[in-house]
């Protein structure tokens, strides 16, 4: 059976949840997968179809989407356009309800429309077709489309394929090949961050390579901040300062994934954050995870009043073994914030811990009806069905069908889901 369900901290990023058993990961919109403070390593569960075959031909089949004005530079990127580096996406691991749904977009749907409606598997394929049509010198557009392709693969839980497809570019940059210095400034910042993430997935070093890459990016960002200050460009300073802050949090995330929880705690203590609530919240969650309840309370005391602080109070009660008190607190928070799916999910998990299986199932199913179907919710409902019914497969299939009837949206990894998310 699957691993036990456990409560998690709540965030306000409701429209961006991409979660594991219980919600713990989010995305910042359709193209930027970003980890929550205590996220586990980004990995692709094993779907029904194993290894996807490389694309033999990349003949265009849909109109080329326009994301931004193209720009040609004196850089030859033919090495990125090798068809054998890319993969076809199988539909064998997609429930029939999604494949036969009236919500499936037409074959000629533009890329922008696919992204807008959360059809990320189809968007990954359309981006690849447009990518194949680009001239090798059109670096700006190539990198735009490559980012869309890789980000969409991550969002549909195929980060394993994304890591393989990104290898040619990451290897090119890592070995400082001729032209690399010219290419690097053309790569969008979001793609550079994603490449570091995918590098970590592919590396068998426990995450050390990712930490080194993040620190290298941090040094580069500090240099940009220095230059921007010298030029008295306040807007540029703000942009690079925000990126430096983000990198600091990503380093903490990576340390947590490596199991270096104490190191991650010390690292967070070195960060400075103009929005003290965010840093205090992350510190409290991490200290709860390592069992430092008093430290978590100290971090929580530095936060302003709000739903996140209230959710930490419930987590503290659970950490102290008073699950019934935590359940009542989550129930009260759910009444005050009915739109917050993480609160309802934690309430259902708390009910499981005090053996109220029927009520927990009701909370989970109601949440699935009114909220976007994030991965942790589907996993937990599947686990409830395994615990409470002998018709497990039928109930899971019905759940998949119900999710396929929902209106497509970008939240929680998009509309289309895979079999493994329903534990099918």
Structure tokens at 349: 């998990």
Tally of CA atoms within 13 A in the half-sphere of 22 that contains its CB:
21
57 closest CA partner among 128, 159, 124: 128
Query: From CA 224, how far away is CA 421, in angstroms rounded?
Result: 42
Query: From CA 96, how far away is CA 416, in angstroms rounded?
Result: 11
Query: From CA 414, how far away is CA 424, in angstroms rounded?
Result: 19
415 closest CA partner among 158, 146, 122, 127: 122
Beta bridge mates, 26: 17, 34
* Mean pLDDT by groups of 10 residues along the chain of 424 residues: 42 32 32 31 32 34 40 70 89 92 93 95 95 88 95 94 92 76 88 91 77 93 96 94 94 91 92 83 92 91 90 92 93 93 93 93 93 89 90 93 92 90 90
Q: Is 21 left (phi over 0), alpha (psi -120 to 50) or beta?
A: beta
Query: From CA 145, how far away is CA 298, in angstroms rounded?
Result: 45
User: Residues 351, 363: contact at Cβ < 8 Å?
Assistant: yes
Taking the chain, what is the end-to-end CA distance rounded to the nearest angstrom? 12
- Say what the pLDDT of residue 52 is: 36
Rg (CA), the chain: 22
Tally of CA atoms within 13 A in the half-sphere of 339 that contains its CB:
4
pTM metric for this prediction? 0.79
Domain boundaries in the chain? 14-422
Cα dihedral 216, 218, 219, 223 in deg (nearest 10): 140
Cα dihedral 284, 288, 290, 292 in deg (nearest 10): 80
- Say what the pLDDT of residue 389 is: 85
User: Residues 343, 371: contact at Cβ < 8 Å?
Assistant: no
């Amino acid at each position: 059976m699957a691993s036990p369900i456990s409560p998690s901290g709540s965030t306000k990023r409701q429209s961006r949840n991409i979660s594991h058993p219980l919600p713990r990961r989010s995305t910042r919109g359709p193209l930027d997968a970003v980890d929550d403070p205590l996220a586990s390593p980004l990995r692709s569960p094993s779907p029904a179809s194993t290894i996807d075959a490389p694309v033999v031909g990349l003949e265009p089949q849909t109109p080329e989407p326009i994301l931004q004005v193209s720009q040609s530079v004196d850089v030859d990127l033919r090495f990125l356009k090798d068809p054998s580096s890319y993969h076809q996406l199988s539909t064998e691991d997609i429930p029939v309800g999604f494949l036969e749904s009236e919500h499936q977009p037409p074959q000629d749907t533009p890329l922008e429309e696919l992204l807008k409606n959360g059809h990320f598997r189809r968007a990954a394929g359309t981006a690849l077709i447009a990518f194949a049509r680009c001239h090798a010198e059109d670096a700006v557009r190539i990198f735009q489309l490559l980012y869309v392709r890789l980000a969409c693969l991550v969002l549909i839980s195929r980060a394993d394929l994304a890591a393989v497809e990104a290898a040619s570019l990451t290897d090119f940059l890592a070995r400082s090949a001729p032209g690399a210095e010219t290419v690097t400034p053309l790569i969008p910042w979001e793609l550079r961050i994603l490449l570091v993430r995918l590098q970590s997935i592919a590396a068998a070093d426990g995450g050390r390579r990712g930490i080194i890459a993040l620190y290298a990016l941090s040094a580069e960002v500090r240099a940009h901040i220095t230059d921007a200050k010298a030029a008295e460009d306040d807007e540029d300073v703000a942009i690079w300062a925000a990126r430096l802050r983000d990198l600091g949090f990503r380093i903490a995330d990576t340390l947590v994934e490596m199991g270096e929880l104490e190191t991650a705690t010390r690292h967070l203590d070195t960060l400075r954050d103009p929005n003290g609530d965010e840093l205090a919240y992350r510190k409290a969650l991490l200290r709860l995870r390592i069992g430092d309840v008093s430290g978590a309370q100290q971090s929580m005391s530095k936060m302003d009043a709000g739903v996140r602080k209230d959710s930490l109070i419930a987590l503290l009660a659970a950490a102290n073994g008073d699950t019934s008190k935590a359940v009542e607190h989550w129930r009260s928070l759910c009444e005050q914030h009915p739109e917050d799916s993480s609160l309802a999910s934690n309430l259902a998990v708390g009910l499981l811990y005090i053996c109220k299986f029927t009520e927990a199932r009701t909370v989970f199913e109601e949440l699935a009806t009114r909220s976007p179907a994030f991965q942790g919710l589907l996993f937990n409902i599947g686990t409830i069905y395994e615990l409470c019914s002998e018709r497990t497969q039928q109930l899971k299939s019905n759940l998949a069908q119900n999710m396929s009837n929902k209106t497509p949206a970008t939240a929680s990894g998009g509309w289309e889901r895979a079999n493994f998310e329903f534990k099918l």
